[in-house]
Amino acid sequence: MTIELIGLDNIPIVDASSDISQIIKDAIDNQGCSLIHGDIILIAETLISKSEGNFINIDELTPSKKALDLAEKSKKDPKLVEAILNESNEVVEVGPNFIITETKHGFVCANAGIDESNVAEGLATPMPIDPDKSAFEIREFLEDEFGEEIAVIITDTQGRAFRFGAIGTAIGCSGISPLWRRVGEKDLYGRELETTEIATADELAAAASLIMGQADEGLPVVLIRGFNSFDTLRNVDSNMNSIIMPKEFDVFRK
């Protein structure tokens, strides 16, 4: 199996007036790669938030007492901490220069997923309000335009417990199941798999992150072509709910 990763060039700086679906379509046309059955479009969450006008003006926030206390513990800007609290259901843990929270979406990650990079001074972008909905709308537009069944995944860069460094992670999807349950299949020795579940959307997001980069690469949209399990995982009603672990099973949360 060969998988191809294609970074889409010429994605402009976007704002709330931008039609992100049309921008991606134009980039595909200009690059001459079109879309074919089984293609997967991966989009950095910052691009989605910016195109939806979803910004936080950090300078306008007034830190609460809780924000001030957490800022002292984490050594973070109290106004940024207030933004983190506003985007969170609960604080899970506080560490040196990070605050682990459960976001309003149910994701457990550092600093509620708020991103201060690739945005104007004094602003930050939270996670998209509804990444699954954003992915669904973009997928439907592109499928109508190109006449092919595809998938769309919204990605974020997040750290992982017990490891340094961050990887691409899926926070929204449409057209493909984010979790591949392989229970009941056989391994190479004929043994039946009893617990195996693959976080496929996360694996695809991590692959795309190699192309997107984290600095000035300017490639927030990546096309993955040749993923041969697309038809197996095809799901037009997909969302990220199936991949979020219920709190009662989260043995690491206090």
For residues 178 and 180, what is the distance between their CA atoms, to the nearest angstrom?
7
Per-residue confidence band for 214, with pLDDT thresholds at 50, 70 and 90:
low
Predicted pLDDT at 96: 86
The whole-number average pLDDT for the span 212-239 is: 89
- Under a CB-based contact definition with an 8 Å cutoff, are residues 169 and 202 in contact? yes
- Under a CB-based contact definition with an 8 Å cutoff, are residues 68 and 74 in contact? no
The whole-number average pLDDT for the span 188-211 is: 94
Please count the other Cβ atoms lying within 10 Å of the Cβ belonging to residue 139: 24
As a whole number of Å, the end-to-end CA separation of the chain is 42
Predicted pLDDT at 202: 97
The whole-number average pLDDT for the span 31-40 is: 96
Predicted pLDDT at 217: 63
SS3 102: strand
- Under a CB-based contact definition with an 8 Å cutoff, are residues 158 and 105 in contact? no
Total number of residues shown for the chain:
254
- Nearest Cα neighbor of 168 from 222, 238, 105 is 222
pLDDT digits (tens, 9 = 90+) for 165-198: 999 999 999 999 999 999 988 989 999 988 899 9
Q: What's the CATH number of domain 1-52+128-254, 3.40.630.30, 3.90.1170.50, 3.30.479.10, 3.30.1330.100?
A: 3.30.1330.100
Q: Is the pLDDT of residue 253 over 80?
A: no
Q: What percent of the chain has a predicted confidence (pLDDT) above 70? A: 98
Q: Do domains 1-52+128-254 and 55-127 have the same CATH topology?
A: no
Which residue is associated with the tokens 């490639």?
A: 219
Predicted pLDDT at 116: 83
Predicted pLDDT at 87: 96
- Nearest Cα neighbor of 203 from 158, 167, 176, 154 is 167
At 171, list the tokens: 């926070």
Predicted pLDDT at 160: 86
CATH 3.30.980.20 fits 55-127, yes or no: no
pLDDT digits (tens, 9 = 90+) for 45-71: 999 999 999 999 999 999 999 999 999
Per-residue confidence band for 216, with pLDDT thresholds at 50, 70 and 90:
low
Q: What percent of the chain has a predicted confidence (pLDDT) above 90? A: 78
Predicted pLDDT at 115: 86
The mean of the pLDDT values for the chain is 93
The whole-number average pLDDT for the span 69-80 is: 94
Per-residue confidence band for 86, with pLDDT thresholds at 50, 70 and 90:
very high
Predicted pLDDT at 66: 96
Predicted pLDDT at 118: 72
pLDDT digits (tens, 9 = 90+) for 132-159: 999 999 999 999 999 999 999 999 999 8
Predicted pLDDT at 254: 59
Q: Is the pLDDT of residue 215 over 60?
A: no
Sorted by where each begins, the domain ranges of the chain are 1-52+128-254, 55-127
